[in-house]
Amino acid sequence: MFEIVEFIKKVEGLKLKPYEDKFGNLTIGYGRNLDDKGITKEEAEIMLYTDLAIVEYDLEDIFLNYSDMPLDLKVVLTSMMFNLGKYRFLTFKKFIKAIKDKDYKKAIIELNNSKRARQLPKRTELETEYLKKLIKE
């Protein structure tokens, strides 16, 4: 099997980002035809967990106390970072400051007063519900 794998790798080549093959099919990896085959649920799960590990690493870089944060807060931050990526997430300066200050009311205001909130109202509403759990009455 090793010989076969190495031959396929050699003739297909490795592309880590999607591209169109010579027939116009969206392709990735070692010739995986995404248009016809797609990916399996198991592959999607592996990709999700890989992406979440990167998100967690980035959040730990931004929030030094990330590992000690409440789960509800981690859910919101992970959702945002997963959706935005690190560099767009970092543009939410007032939101990040509010989180660091543990001012969750302010964080909710900043979260909802954004272009992202208008683009993703349902997601933002769910994130807001998680943040509301952190507000001490």
CA distances from 62 to 27, 38, 55, 79 (A): 34, 34, 11, 15
Which residues of the chain, if any, have pLDDT below 70? 137
**Alpha-carbon distance 65 to 55, whole Å?**
15
HSE-CB of 38 using CA atoms within 13 angstroms: 4
What proportions of the chain, in percent to the nearest 5, are helix, strand and coil? 65, 10, 25
Q: Are β-strands 15-20 and 32-33 bridged in parallel, bridged antiparallel, or unpaired?
A: unpaired
Q: How far apart are CA 128 and CA 131, in angstroms?
A: 5
DSSP strand pairing (32-33 vs 26-29): antiparallel
Confidence at residue 18, expressed as pLDDT on a 0 to 100 scale: 96
Is the dihedral angle over the CA atoms 105, 135, 65, 124 positive or is it negative?
Answer: negative
pTM of the shown model? 0.88
pLDDT of residue 137: 53
